[in-house]
Structure 1
Amino acid sequence: MAEKISDNGGLEEQPWLYEISPKGKALSFNFDEIWRYRDLLLLFVKRDIVTYYKQTILGPLWFLIQPLITSVVQFVIFNQIAQIESDGINYFLFALAGNTLWFYFSDCFKSTSDTFKTNQNIFGKVYFPRVIVPMSVTLSNLLKFGIQFLFFLCMIGYFIYLGKAPFPNWEVIFTPVLLFMMALISLGFGMIISSMTTKYRDLSFLVGFGVQLYMYLTPVVYPTSLVVKKLKPYGYENLAYLNPLTSIFEFFKYAFLGSGEFTTFGLVYSFVFSILIFLLGLVVFNKTEKNFIDTV
């Protein structure tokens, strides 16, 4: 209870307007509180966008250069030299589709996994819902994804004009669902890693390396059908879908390029996995934020 001086000079007890306490439920996602801090959320989103290309010559054009150069290099190495097939799709478009999705996931994951370390000065001085920071990362990266996605659509239109690509399928309407699933997976993994790095700093050095390895476990530069073909003689073809990102990438390529190997079960598995890993990350994140300032 708060106290104030009454008209007669005495002290009167008044209820607190706000109570800041580290205690709370492990599985807590207070939408009302996040909505009250929506202006701060937008401020963090703006900060992330501005600082990304501040004091650069090309600015947002780097968002286009990254997938373009990466896809060209992958085309030369994996298609022209290694002779990796792409299910009859032009390999440049195949690689560009994978990179468009992958960059969104990897950027969200790497930024989220460094939440406590990067924002320790802010967290130690003022209160606000900590989960706003990783949320702002996924939202700010949507701008980058949007630019790269428009470039991808332009490339599809160009190859359709040349007669080297089919028109996208109606399943493209599920693209927001795919992004939502990837956002949850990157948030879940990122919050877990961020919470662990408050005690084990070595993990922060492994994130970049681990993300690179994870890319080669995901059908970015090769089709899942190639993995299934290799595993089928041994009866382990279902292992190709163990990675929750596999069905997401394959469905995306099927929707836009007309070729991809996925199953309904695989998509359901990816959706359930995204929900569960997000909830697990939220539990670990909420538990760590209570005392991370003593260990970070």
Structure 2
Amino acid sequence: MSANTTQDWDIELKPQDSVFNLHLKDVWNYRDLLWLLVRRDFVSFYKQTIFGPLWIFIQPIFTTIIFTVIFGRLAGISTSGAPGPLFYMSGTLAWNYFADCLNKTSTVFRDNASIFGKVYFPRLIMPLSIVFSNLVRFSVQLVLFLLFLTYYLFQPNVNVHPNLFVLLLPVVIILMAFLGLGLGLIITAMTTKYRDLVFLITFGVQLLMYATPVIYPLSAAPVKYRNLISLNPLSGLVETVRYGFLGTGQFYAGAFAYSVVASLVIFMLGLVVFNRVEKNFVDTV
């Protein structure tokens, strides 16, 4: 072969690269692997369980029942006039998607260290597969919520009024994914050196739920804490979902705009940090 002959390579591995080069073209070229991992995550999660995929329905139903009894009946927390089951299910629907993305993404380096050390593929494929597999579960649970919503719409004297803000749901889902993915990528990058974060994230996410208007409307929070809760990017998103489907509470335009900006910033920061660490994490994990 002549020395002047040029060759076209699909992938070129270099020892040095910019942290801002996210290799998105490589991710697209490996999209078949992405869908394969999504299917693997979904199947393996329910493998060797008695109820299998029925757990997708069981989890939100039991959570809604417990929240309705404890926070609605015993604690008497306001639901802004909405039926308790719909109020709590709408909040947990959005929250669970974010929490699942964050929890599973935050350990992606540790859980896949053996694979990362043996074969090349765009490392971003792994956390993306988590986001998409969780999206499948979210979609199924959304159908369950819509069935509950339809039932209440045909009941007399029920304060439920869906409106056009429900059209923001796709935007909210994307922002939830950005937040969960961005925070998860930052945490998983830090766990390569600080293993304690794996334990902190377990109950940290649970505590974060109480700083998010999932079991209470933002309007019911004490005034001195309301602005602090509004700094949580999830607050504007959860309130938007609830207002769009139920028509109770209100749409906080400022909080929603803040959520958009914060989600995008955290997502981009997470990508850069992940891209920086994945080059040499095998040496420290």
Q: Same fold (TM over 0.5)?
A: yes
- Which stretch shows the higher mean deviation, 171-180 or 160-169? 160-169
- Which stretch shows the higher mean deviation, 157-166 or 263-272? 157-166
1:205 aligned to 2:194?
no
Partner residue, 1:50: 43
Out of 143, 149, 153, the position equivalent to 2:142 is 149
SS of the residue 2:216 aligns to? coil
Out of 158, 163, 185, the position equivalent to 2:179 is 185
Equivalent residues of 1:23, 1:290 under 8 A apart? no
Equivalent residues of 1:253, 1:259 under 8 A apart? yes
SS of the residue 1:159 aligns to? helix
Equivalent residues of 1:159, 1:165 under 8 A apart? no
Partner residue, 2:239: 250
Equivalent residues of 2:82, 2:160 under 8 A apart? no
SS of the residue 1:207 aligns to? helix
What is the CA distance between 1:20 and its match in structure 2?
1.5
Q: Deviations over 1:63-96 (max 9, x none)?
A: 1110110110111111111111110111111000
Letter in 1 for 2:242: K
Equivalent residues of 1:63, 1:148 under 8 A apart? yes
Distance of 1:23 and 1:40 partners within structure 2:
25
Partner residue, 2:271: 282
What is the CA distance between 1:27 and its match in structure 2?
2.0
Gaps of 5+ in 2: none
1:218 aligned to 2:212?
yes
Mapping of residues 1-296 of structure 1, within 5 Å: 15=7, 17=9, 18-163=11-156, 164-227=158-221, 230-231=222-223, 234=224, 237-296=226-285
Equivalent residues of 2:107, 2:198 under 8 A apart? yes
Structure 1: 4+ residue segments shifted above 3 A: 11-16
Letter in 1 for 2:184: G
- Alpha-carbon RMSD across the aligned residues, in angstroms, is 1.6
What is the CA distance between 1:22 and its match in structure 2?
4.4
What is the CA distance between 1:171 and its match in structure 2?
1.5
Sort the Cα spacing of 1:48 and 1:56 in 2 relative to 1 into closer, same or farther, 3 A: same
Q: Deviations over 1:122-141 (max 9, x none)?
A: 10011111111111111111
Distance of 1:167 and 1:22 partners within structure 2:
57
Gaps of 5+ in 1: none
Distance of 1:169 and 1:13 partners within structure 2:
63
Q: Deviations over 1:1-34 (max 9, x none)?
A: xxx6x7xxxx887647342124222123333211
What TM-score does the superposition give when structure 2 sets the normalisation length? 0.95
What is the CA distance between 1:53 and its match in structure 2?
0.6
Sort the Cα spacing of 1:116 and 1:252 in 2 relative to 1 into closer, same or farther, 3 A: same
Figure out how many residues of one structure are paired with residues of the other and give that number. Answer: 283
Distance of 1:120 and 1:12 partners within structure 2:
40
SS of the residue 1:129 aligns to? coil
Asked which structure has the greater CA Rg, the reply is 1
Sort the Cα spacing of 1:169 and 1:125 in 2 relative to 1 into closer, same or farther, 3 A: same
What is the CA distance between 1:165 and its match in structure 2?
4.3
SS of the residue 2:258 aligns to? helix
Equivalent residues of 1:28, 1:282 under 8 A apart? no
What TM-score does the superposition give when structure 1 sets the normalisation length? 0.91
Equivalent residues of 2:71, 2:215 under 8 A apart? yes
What is the CA distance between 1:225 and its match in structure 2?
0.4
Letter in 2 for 1:200: Y
Equivalent residues of 2:22, 2:272 under 8 A apart? no
Distance of 1:22 and 1:92 partners within structure 2:
55
Equivalent residues of 2:60, 2:89 under 8 A apart? yes
Distance of 1:39 and 1:16 partners within structure 2:
22
